[in-house]
Chains A and B, each alone.
Chain A
Amino acid sequence: MSTLTEKVPVFTGLAPLPEARGRAGFGGALRSEWTKIRSVRSTVWSLIALIAVSVGMISLMLAMRMGDWNQLSPARQHELAADPLGVYFPIAIGLGQLAMVVLGVMTVTSEYTTGMIRSTLQAQPRRMIVMTAKIVVFSVVAAIVGQIVAFGSFFATQQIVKAHITMTLSEPGYLRSVVGGGLYLAVIGLFSLAMGGILRHTAGAITAVAAIVMVLGNMTELLPSSWGAHVHAWWPSIAGAYVYTPSVDPGQLLTPWQGFAVLSGWTALLLAVAYVLLKRRDA
């Protein structure tokens, strides 16, 4: 039809748009997802909470312990001096991950609970592009915040113990634990994002991840015999925890980085399921 090939006049009051070039693709999707993540207060607050809770908690608990330094038994003093990071750093990461779980889940589920997904997929109906852009933007934000939390916790520890203990990143396993702790937070966030994509329901996805990470993981320790030990070691949160724990137990079935790889594998699997479901389901 000839009328279709003619330039459609622009609606009164609007300046003409520049000519369309190429095809709307990944670059635009990335910019869009970055706008989405930074323009919602809850995201910003979750990130601040994550940093404050992790770094604040480790500082508070450690400061209380160090304040009683002279009352501690020599054995306890020796234990603390031998591995000052190992006492509270894993707790900081373990607590901080809660905010990361919420953030990861909400990155996807807020689209569904608000109905925004219909606007999103109307602007870019190629769903794989949308999902990939979401994952990339979230990964970058989570990786940066994860490292801030990890290094923040390390330096807070260093300052608090320095009156009695000298602690540097060159202690065995320390640099690996700190960098690994930041990476763990980022990957557990992606794990949560994938769960959000699968369940499309905020409370459901947070509950599912919290159950996997905080409850079921510890329960696997109670499983009998050697296969129980394997289930335990390969459980996402348990395997992932090896990378941010400075000491390595000689009986550990996985090395710290193997453990991190196992968590990443689980995450990749969940993301794959989320992709397939996003492609197949009605929005």
Chain B
Amino acid sequence: MIEAVGLSKRYGDKLAVDRLSFSVKPGQVTGFLGPNGAGKSTTMRMILGLDAPTSGTVTVNGKPFRQAAHPLREVGALLDAKAVHGGRSAYNHLLCLAQTNNLPKKRVDEVLALVGLGAVAKKRSKGFSLGMGQRLGIAAALLGDPKVLMFDEPVNGLDPEGILWIRNLMKALAAEGRTVFVSSHLMSEMENTADHLIVIGRGKLVADCTVQEFIDNNSELSIRVRTPQFEQLGAVLTGKGGAVRADGEDALVVTKLGMAEIGDLAFDNQIRVHELSPIQASLEQAFMELTKDSVEYHAAVPAAKEAAA
């Protein structure tokens, strides 16, 4: 359980995190979403006490993290895969962490085997690939059998097999009753993994709900209708309050009307319908819609360049 109340962090005149209040519950994977620069990493650093909040408080399992008797047994975190001295072997890296919490040495071998780094345990982590570095970070997070796990962008640098592996790992950890808090700017990843979402933009809380609620609240269901009489149907649907746009020569995309309504209206007006299908809005679209005003760094639009040329 992680609980943040009015958490804020100011860097100079920039408010990186702005009065965030949320709680992350055990037994489920909670996705922490936001565009780059939204304040996700800063928030996670404050949870661990690496950064001090400008105001507000955050507790882990009911108390500030620094008061934990055995910090590694409370929280296992992968903040970034580079939090490692490259000159030290994977084994020694984990050993020096395990020793701080009086964890047994054999635990180090066990977690290395679990993440698939057993064969390179004695190798210096300098030579590790991004994916191996990520696995080492996950091994460190699992050292203390923690009740709370935090992962900051864990799939970065992993190959598809690795992504699947960590997705299953997170789900398994949550299924064991642990609190799993995972940040990402990849909505598609969260759609497959998270049960609950906390979405932030420019340091502010934007949404705190289940994945399904998030989609339902933030995107309209669109329905694709294929019909040979599409001008006629378009007029009927518009008349009933639907928003209609053409999709190719023989199809319409309709919003603001339900599938049953569209079907009934077509039947009542004797219009042939060849296809009636929902277009499921993805989390990606819903997220883009929601945070479009709060994206910190916009990419230059190529079209603008062309126009200028």
Contact = CB atoms under 8 A, between A and B. Distances in A.
B27 A3 contact: yes
A24 B69 contact: yes
Given A4-B1, A17-B103, A12 B27 contact: no
Nearest to A6: B177
Interface in A181-227: none
B100 interface: yes
Nearest to A23: B69
A20 B92 contact: no
Nearest to B72: A123
Contacts of A10: 145, 176
A4 B147 contact: yes
A12 B172 contact: yes
B25 to A, nearest CB: 9
A170 interface: no
Interface in B13-39: 26-27
B82 interface: yes
Contact of A283 (B50, B61, B71, B145): B50
B100 A17 contact: no
B177 A28 contact: no
B51 A14 contact: no
Nearest to A20: B70
Given A17-B144, A124-B100, A115 B83 contact: yes
Interface stretch (A37-45, A66-74, A96-104, A144-152): A37-45
A42 B87 contact: yes
Contacts of B173: 11
Contacts, number: 150
B102 interface: yes
A125 B48 contact: yes
Contact of A115 (B82, B99, B114, B178): B82
Interface residues of B, number: 57
Nearest to B140: A119
Interface stretch (B104-112, B193-201, B219-227, B247-255): B104-112
Interface string B59-87: 00100011011111101010110111111
B80 A118 contact: yes
Interface residues of A, number: 49
Interface string A102-132: 0000000011001111111111111000000
Majority secondary structure, B binding face:
loop
B92 A35 contact: yes
B87 A121 contact: no
B172 A17 contact: no
Nearest to A114: B85
Interface in A1-46: 1, 3-4, 6, 8-18, 20-24, 27-29, 31-33, 35-36, 39-42
Nearest to B149: A11
B83 A118 contact: yes
A120 B114 CA distance: 22
Interface in A70-98: none
B70 A24 contact: yes
A267 B65 CA distance: 32
7 contacts: A9-B177, A10-B145, A22-B102, A115-B84, A125-B49, A282-B50, A282-B52
Interface of A: 1, 3-4, 6, 8-18, 20-24, 27-29, 31-33, 35-36, 39-42, 110-111, 114-126, 282-283
Given A3-B27, A11-B172, A35-B99, 10 more contacts: A8-B177, A11-B176, A32-B96, A35-B96, A36-B85, A115-B80, A121-B50, A122-B75, A125-B48, A283-B50
